[in-house]
Amino acid sequence: MTDFTATKAMFHLPEGMIYLDGNSLGPLPKAAPARMATTLRDEWGEMLITGWNRAGWMEQPSRIGDRIARLIGAGAGHVVMGDTLSIKVYQALASALEMRPDRRVILSDSGNFPTDLYMAEGLIASLGRQHQLKTPAPADVADHINEDVAVLMLTEVDYRTGRKHDMKALTEKAHAAGALVIWDLAHSAGALPVDLMGCNVDFAVGCSYKYLNGGPGAPAFIYVAPRHIDTVRPALSGWLGHAAPFAFDLNYTSGAGIERMRVGTPPVLQFAALEAAMDVWEMADMADVRTKSIALCDRFIAGIETTCPDLKLASPRDGRMRGSQVSFHFEHGYPAMQALIARGVIGDFRSPDIMRFGFTPLYIDEGDVDAAIAIISDVMENNLWDTEDYKQRRRVT
Amino acid sequence: MTDFTATKAMFHLPEGMIYLDGNSLGPLPKAAPARMATTLRDEWGEMLITGWNRAGWMEQPSRIGDRIARLIGAGAGHVVMGDTLSIKVYQALASALEMRPDRRVILSDSGNFPTDLYMAEGLIASLGRQHQLKTPAPADVADHINEDVAVLMLTEVDYRTGRKHDMKALTEKAHAAGALVIWDLAHSAGALPVDLMGCNVDFAVGCSYKYLNGGPGAPAFIYVAPRHIDTVRPALSGWLGHAAPFAFDLNYTSGAGIERMRVGTPPVLQFAALEAAMDVWEMADMADVRTKSIALCDRFIAGIETTCPDLKLASPRDGRMRGSQVSFHFEHGYPAMQALIARGVIGDFRSPDIMRFGFTPLYIDEGDVDAAIAIISDVMENNLWDTEDYKQRRRVT
């Protein structure tokens, strides 16, 4: 059984704040400052260039990749860190499209995080606009899978509503139609159990600053199925993905396995913080995290629906269909969220009317949920969001 | 006049080490650990998600870009930070190729850093292998500029020899032939004065962990000429380059100016260290840095050539034709460099036979050069590199 009291004690949580935005940026692991100080003073400061070997900097992308692999149903050697999620989406998509040269459709959905769509749009333009990006509503995606689809590219958990796709069923349907599949795990990794191997996924990407708590700007990760990794051409073919980076050959030769998906110099300082965050994950079982996440979300929904009739649930009511967040529609969601933040309940607002609250069992418990409900109820019952400033702005527009 | 005693005092330099590898990874600015601790505890720790606004994280890429711009002959608003140098090479090249749709040659040279060539190779493959990457010898590049060339893509200073290209003349010649120009400033930024505006350069990219001392994995930068920036399509079109990232539109619209070259979430923790490094640069005048760099390199060449006849100069003898490093050929360069490192003189080895020494006036002075010469002379005169282990290995191979 995961000891969530112990994991909560491993994070710095500001006094008087109930932090329900770990789905956007996780909090500071208490061990991170000391780990970072060691990396700065003892590694960079004392070892300088020799830190690449002596401090193991060069191996960080795969070493930490292995630690994340455990949380997403992948094996050692299947995941490597680097770049940002946008870049990793591009790399996976460009690489995958080459594996389906006769097909012209990239199928995603209108619930995907915009940067995934933007990167696809940019790639399509570079490739001469021969491909088409389709973005039906999330519920209709399955109906659009057919033999024109080269790649199905989806984010498992909708960043606004928390609605969760059926990874296994959609992957199977795409494979049956001969398409490849890329899953974006931005709101999945560390939020719920993911079974990349069991779902037979081709590519997956994700970030490490949300539920994984790696800190602002922590690097992304990429997974490539073992059946593809020795044949895929990494479209972003950088020197650290080369078979022999320090031979300085003029021509590119892919490295072995997942290492080929590396591109440039890894962000060593970001890794120092991320390593501290991953130590917390060693104490956690994803099944326990999921059970508690659903309980916290259910408790929150029940409390809010009882006390705040103006907030309309935007997330699936069935916990099995949700990620680890709860969202509500409210016309005045923006000022309402401002009012909550001013009172120490940190969630966020997403256009046009979504108030979003993330629940992260590693450091959020039932007491936090109840305290948040009380503050939200107070703000809503007493219209504390309807400030003079907001009234004025509504009059103007 | 730059006070180099003052700048040297701002770096942590390990006891008993003469660090001549700042061209690969600059040393730790003494202010970096405290700056990083503040970013971790007061920003990430206390502000959490609100740090993006309250701590100014979102503006870091352009704020620090402006500080680097000053060192490379660019103006405020012309440079933005992000990603790695490999990614920025790709972004510049993919964007530039679209501006010359009827041309099929990417001209570089065999002295370019391999990752630039690998990224170009990867892009060419993605684009259907309609383009050709030409890599003549550096001295012959000018002769290959003609009206087939879409983009001339060069690194100004050769990573092995320190040989410096004539940026102005090559840019002019390329423009006269109708080509665009991308300069990689990896070994230029902070090493010597660069005049991007004066040379009329189209795109430039570089890294911040070498002469700029931003720390291992510090982010890259990209410059786009003001005459292009409002028309260039950023081939890597991520959400932070969007005109309104937080509108979460489904379609991409480029942001204004250099901001459009941003892609994903910036590496906030790396920026903390880089900001500390940029504070040192506020005290430096690039003309002074250049004068002292040439003097240090000349002094080193004279000392080594007097005492070490087996080392053959691989760098241009004329300081005006060099970057801020000096390289020598030596058949046994690898074990010789190992012997030097063991004795506290840190340079590096580059295949097949290059011993490379970087000179960085911000923290290396004449006393360091003389001390390094004495140790190198001792190692060479007494064949201290020819260890039993190395003798054994030569017998085997």
pLDDT given at position A397: 65
Q: How many domains does chain A have?
A: 2
Backbone angles phi, psi at A187, to 5 degrees: -105, 20
CB–CB of B83/B129 below 8 Å?
A: no
Q: What is the CATH number of the domain that holds A118?
A: 3.40.640.10
Put simply, whether A252 touches B (Cβ < 8 Å) is yes
Question: What is the SS3 string spanning chain B?
Answer: CCCHHHHHCCEECCCCCEECCCCCCCCEECCHHHHHHHHHHHHHHHHHHHHHHHCCHHHHHHHHHHHHHCCCCCCCCCEEECCCHHHHHHHHHHHHHHCCCCCCEEECCCCCCHHHHHHHHHHHHHCCCCCEEECCCHHHHHHHCCCCEEEEEEECECCCCCEECCHHHHHHHHHHCCCEEEEECCCCCCCCCCCCCCCCCCEEEEECCCCCCCCCCCCEEEEECHHHHCCCCCCCCCHHHECCHHHCCCCCCECCHHHHHCCCCCCHHHHHHHHHHHHHHCCCCHHHHHHHHHHHHHHHHHHHHHHCCCCEECCCCCHHHECCEEEEECCCHHHHHHHHHHCCEECEEECCCEEEEECCCCCCCHHHHHHHHHHHHHHHHCCCCCCHHHHHHHHHC
**In the A/B pair of chains, how many CB contacts fall below 8 A?**
264
Give residue A337's domain range.
4-29+285-396
Beta-bridge partner residues of B180: B151
Residues A212, A336, single domain; the answer is no
pLDDT given at position B397: 65
Token readout for A276 is 């501290």
Residues B146, B68, single domain; the answer is yes
Q: What is the CATH number of the domain that holds B329?
A: 3.90.1150.10
Put simply, whether A190 touches B (Cβ < 8 Å) is no
**pLDDT for B28 beyond 80:** yes
Residues B78, B12, single domain; the answer is no
Put simply, whether B364 touches A (Cβ < 8 Å) is no
Confidence of residue B273 (pLDDT cuts 50, 70, 90): very high
Residues B19, B98, single domain; the answer is no
Residues 6+ apart with CB under 8 A from A174: A145, A149, A152, A180, A181
**Single-letter amino acid, residue B110:** S
pLDDT given at position B269: 98
Put simply, whether A374 touches B (Cβ < 8 Å) is no
Q: State the ipTM, two decimals.
A: 0.97
Put simply, whether A130 touches B (Cβ < 8 Å) is no
Residues B52, B21, single domain; the answer is no
pLDDT given at position A160: 96
Q: Is the pTM of this model over 0.95?
A: yes
Mean pLDDT (chain B) is 97
Residues B145, B265, single domain; the answer is yes
Q: Cα A3 to chain center, whole Å?
A: 24
With CA atoms as reference, the chain A residue closest to B351 would be: A247
- Which of B21, B207, B247 is nearest residue A48 as measured by Cβ atoms? B21
With CA atoms as reference, the chain A residue closest to B47 would be: A14
Residues B63, B110, single domain; the answer is yes
Question: Which positions in chain A touch B85 (Cβ < 8 Å)?
Answer: 264-265
Residues B270, B343, single domain; the answer is no
Catalytic residues of A: 113, 184, 209-210, 356
Residues B81, B180, single domain; the answer is yes
pLDDT tens-digit readout, B133-180: 999 999 999 999 999 999 999 999 999 999 999 999 999 999 999 999
**Each residue's pLDDT expressed in tens, for chain A with a length of 397 residues:** 999 999 999 999 999 999 999 999 999 999 999 999 999 999 999 999 999 999 999 999 999 999 999 999 999 999 999 999 999 999 999 999 999 999 999 999 999 999 999 999 999 999 999 999 999 999 999 999 999 999 999 999 999 999 999 999 999 999 999 999 999 999 999 999 999 999 999 999 999 999 999 999 999 999 999 999 999 999 999 999 999 999 999 999 999 999 999 999 999 999 999 999 999 999 999 999 999 999 999 999 999 999 999 999 999 999 999 999 999 999 999 999 999 999 999 999 998 999 999 999 999 999 999 999 999 999 999 999 999 989 998 887 6
**pLDDT for B75 beyond 90:** yes
Residues A172, A54, single domain; the answer is yes
Confidence of residue B338 (pLDDT cuts 50, 70, 90): very high
Put simply, whether A236 touches B (Cβ < 8 Å) is yes
pLDDT given at position A396: 77
pLDDT given at position B394: 84
Catalytic residues of B: 113, 184, 209-210, 356
User: Cβ separation of A252 and B121 shorter than 8 Å?
Assistant: yes
Residues A137, A240, single domain; the answer is yes
For the segment B5-23, the average pLDDT, to the nearest whole number, is 97
Distance CA B221, CA B83 (A): 8
Question: Which positions in chain B touch A236 (Cβ < 8 Å)?
Answer: 86-87, 90, 119, 122
Which residue, B281, B314, B333, sits at the end of a domain? B281
Question: Which positions in chain A touch B236 (Cβ < 8 Å)?
Answer: 86-87, 90, 119, 122
Residues A320, A389, single domain; the answer is yes
Which residue, B281, B314, B345, sits at the end of a domain? B281
pLDDT above 90 coverage of chain B, percent: 97
Which residue, A238, A258, A281, sits at the end of a domain? A281
User: Cβ separation of A251 and B348 shorter than 8 Å?
Assistant: no
Question: Which positions in chain B touch A209 (Cβ < 8 Å)?
Answer: 265
